[in-house]
């Protein structure tokens, strides 16, 4: 009598990022993380559409949730398999207190929504950025 032992087969499939069929927001950064109260925040990122379909009416919103200030850009259409770099500017209120603040970046349309956060620091008035 023979004894047969079947352990099983594990199948592993690796899917490249571009084939993940996703809307992606990559390399999100604040260009200058220390700003003065009267300056603004410059945000840079790469947006990619790997959904196999065009995406219509995509908006980008930059917001400071702690004080209820926001700015929305778009809507724009993003073609299938398209990716591009974006640079957006948001002015800051002059009375924004010194310290660390959170910038929320939202990319969305009626079907998709991506939300990411980045920190920046408001320096006190009179602070010399180049000294």
- Which domains does the chain possess? 19-122 (2.60.40.3880)
DSSP secondary structure letters along 74-105: EEEEE-TT-EEEEEEEEE--TTPPSEEEEEEE
pLDDT at position 21 is: 55
Share of residues in the chain with pLDDT > 70 (%): 83
Predicted confidence band of residue 8 (pLDDT cuts 50, 70, 90): very low
65 secondary structure, DSSP code: T
pLDDT at position 42 is: 96
pLDDT at position 81 is: 87
- The answer to whether 55 touches 77, Cβ cutoff 8 Å, is yes
pLDDT digits (tens, 9 = 90+) for 83-104: 889 999 999 988 899 999 999 9
Compute the distance between CA of residue 48 and CA of residue 40 in angstroms, rounded to an integer: 26
Task: Flag whether the pTM goes above 0.75.
Answer: yes
Strand ranges of the sheet holding 113-122, from the earlier edge strand across to the other edge: 34-35, 113-122, 99-108, 55-64, 69-78
Q: What is the mean pLDDT of residues 3-20?
A: 42
pLDDT digits (tens, 9 = 90+) for 35-49: 988 889 999 999 999
Compute the distance between CA of residue 26 and CA of residue 46 in angstroms, rounded to an integer: 5
Q: Is the pLDDT of residue 16 over 80?
A: no
């Amino acid at each position: 009598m023979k004894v047969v032992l079947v352990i099983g087969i594990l199948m592993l499939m690796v899917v490249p990022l571009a084939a993940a069929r996703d809307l992606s927001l990559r390399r999100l950064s604040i260009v200058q993380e220390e700003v003065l109260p009267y300056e603004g925040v410059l945000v840079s990122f790469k947006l990619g559409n790997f959904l196999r379909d065009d995406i219509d009416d995509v908006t980008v919103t930059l917001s400071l949730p702690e004080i209820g200030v926001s700015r929305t850009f778009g809507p724009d259409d993003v073609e299938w398999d398209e990716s591009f770099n974006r640079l957006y500017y948001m002015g800051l209120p002059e009375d924004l207190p010194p310290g660390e603040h959170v910038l929320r970046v939202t990319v969305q349309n009626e079907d998709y929504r991506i939300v990411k956060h980045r920190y920046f620091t408001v320096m006190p008035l009179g602070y010399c950025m180049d000294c």
